[in-house]
Amino acid sequence: MKLDSKIFVAGHNGLVGTAIKKALLSKGYQNLVLKTRSELDLSSTIKVEEFFQKEKPEYVFLAAAKVGGIIANNTYRADFIYENLMIQNNIIYSAYKNGVKKLLFLGSSCIYPKNAPQPIKEEYLLTDTLEYTNEPYAIAKIAGLKMCEAFNLQYGCNFISVMPTNLYGENDNFDLNTSHVLPALIRKFYEGKLNKSNSVEVWGSGNPRREFLHSSDMAQACIYIMENINFNDLINNSKEIRNTHINIGYGSDVSIKELATLIKNIVGFDGEIIYDKSKPDGTYQKLLDTSKLNSLGWKPKITLEKGVKEVFEWYINQKK
């Protein structure tokens, strides 16, 4: 990628897209193509094809997706599979037809089997049953990474798939019904503090473990891969052609209880934590094995504590 290369960041207003846009600009990339949802409907095949023909982007970060937490995934099952398949099919196919030099497809760690051995290696993909709460989303993401792989093998494209762990950061979704756990807990503890509540409710048993990566670390990893890695390097680096995707993670996880305590302390809430066991726990653990990415030369920098402090500050500044 050159500093004047034409780069399309699909989903630049989302959690990762925002961070990718910011990181690209701060590295001096000047030729970004950005379209809001009202300017370009990514689920429309015709509109996406017209956009690619007109703009001819050279590089594509495919960070657009319908995403959400455990309840949203389980409730809007049809929307999660349909919208994600449409967005990624349109962009990946148009990228192939219009000669995009390199595309980065962002997936998720939920593509792996529910009971995968930990930490999860890339080759555990499709070896067992998925977690049911987010199966529609996971199947769409698996289709996306297989589509990239198939276009690379059949048509010589250079489409790379990355599977991030749970991400958090600025511009996250703080809606309590649809958000992921980390922003939800920041909001719940903050509101608990403002309202002087005696307790805050945390879903599930608190025992599941999750790994969290800050979105600006994720953006750095994405740009590093776009700048330095090609599909052929991944064939050489992977044990088999079928698992050439790359995990992007922090490298260690915490229990939801540990996360809740950390956030409670950072926010300064001094009431009690109550675990609502009527809400689902989801997968017990999904810690990614990041040795492939590490061997390709990239490591994260932002600790969970520092990251949560930053996001909390961002959140309260938004409220002012």
Rounded to whole angstroms, the Cα distance separating 270 from 92 reads 49
**Contacting residue, 15, 62, 184, 213, with ligand GDP by CB under 6 A:** 184
Between CA 68 and CA 58 the distance in angstroms is 30
Q: Decide if 137 is catalytic.
A: yes
Q: Does 191 bind ligand GDP (CB under 6 A)?
A: no
Q: Which is nearer to ligand GDP, 69 or 136 (CB)?
A: 69
116 binds ligand GDP (CB under 6 A): no
- Of the ranges 74-82, 157-165, 204-212, 243-251, which one interacts with ligand GDP (CB under 6 A)? 204-212
Q: If binding is defined by CB under 6 A, does position 256 make contact with ligand GDP?
A: yes
Q: Is 120 in the site for ligand GDP (CB under 6 A)?
A: no
Q: Does residue 202 touch ligand GDP according to CB under 6 A? A: yes
What lies within 8 Å, CB to CB, of 63 at 6+ separation is 9, 10, 11, 12, 14, 16, 17, 20, 106, 222
Among 41, 49, 257, 280, binds ligand GDP (CB under 6 A): 280
Q: Give me the phi and psi of 62, to 5 degrees please.
A: -95, 80
Q: Is 70 near ligand GDP (CB under 6 A)?
A: yes
Decide: is 134 part of the binding site for ligand GDP (CB under 6 A): yes
Question: For residue 95, which phi and psi values (nearest 5 degrees)?
Answer: -65, -45
Rounded to whole angstroms, the Cα distance separating 183 from 315 reads: 9
Q: Where are the beta strands (DSSP E) in 257-304?
A: 272-276
- Report if residue 190 touches ligand GDP, rule: CB under 6 A: no
Of positions 21, 114, 121, 180, contacts ligand GDP by CB under 6 A: 180
Pairing of strands 199-203, 32-33: unpaired
Which of these is catalytic: 29, 96, 137, 190? 137
232's tokens: 């052929």
42 binds ligand GDP, rule: CB under 6 A: no
User: How many CB atoms are located within 10 Å of the residue 278 CB?
Assistant: 6
Query: Which region among 57-65, 152-160, 273-281, 290-298 touches ligand GDP (by CB under 6 A)?
Result: 273-281
The rounded distance, in Å, linking the Cα atoms of 95 and 77 is 27
Chain residue whose CB lies nearest ligand GDP: 69
Instruction: Select from 63, 36, 58 the least CA-distant residue to 47.
Output: 36
Question: Which residues have a catalytic role annotated?
Answer: 137
Binding site for ligand GDP (CB under 6 A): 69-70, 110, 134, 166, 179-181, 184-185, 202-204, 208, 210, 256, 279-282
